[in-house]
Amino acid sequence: MVERAVSTMNPTFTQVSYFAKGRLKITELYKDSPFIVEYDTLFPHAFERPFYLEFDNKNGYKFIYEVEEEEQSELHKIDETVENQFGKFRIKKNEAAPVN
């Protein structure tokens, strides 16, 4: 499972961080992430709020997040434009580190 966390000090400068969550530890992937978040718009409540991605073997993924401590999920395809409560964005394959 991979987590994306958005952090910012200024809404005009947004940084996306990528992490791999294993059984014993969480590792920052930096440039080795199997995917890239390409965002068009992020809503203010998306900042500092993690979401999780579970990839399937058919070019799709499950987008998992929490709303009021209850897990929610959505199914999407890689390269599909997504519009939801986080904003408008796409999840793309990182050709340097393909999705397993």
pLDDT per residue, tens digit, the chain (100 aa), is 444 444 433 343 356 777 788 888 888 876 778 888 888 888 877 777 788 888 888 899 999 988 888 999 999 999 999 998 888 999 998 887 744 5
pTM exceeding the 0.85 threshold for the entire prediction: no
Answer for the pair 78, 92: CB distance below 8 angstroms, yes or no. Answer: yes
Q: Please tell me the total count of domains within the chain.
A: 1
Residue 15 forms part of a structural domain: yes
| The one-letter amino acid at 12 | T
Residue 12 forms part of a structural domain: yes
Which token pair is 10? 């200024």
Residue 42 forms part of a structural domain: yes
Residue 30 forms part of a structural domain: yes
| The one-letter amino acid at 45 | H
Please give the residue range of the domain that contains residue 72.
2-93
Residue 32 dihedral angles phi and psi, to the nearest 5°:
-90, 10
Residue 98 forms part of a structural domain: no
Radius of gyration of the chain from Cα atoms? Answer: 13
Residue 43 forms part of a structural domain: yes
Answer for the pair 19, 26: CB distance below 8 angstroms, yes or no. Answer: yes
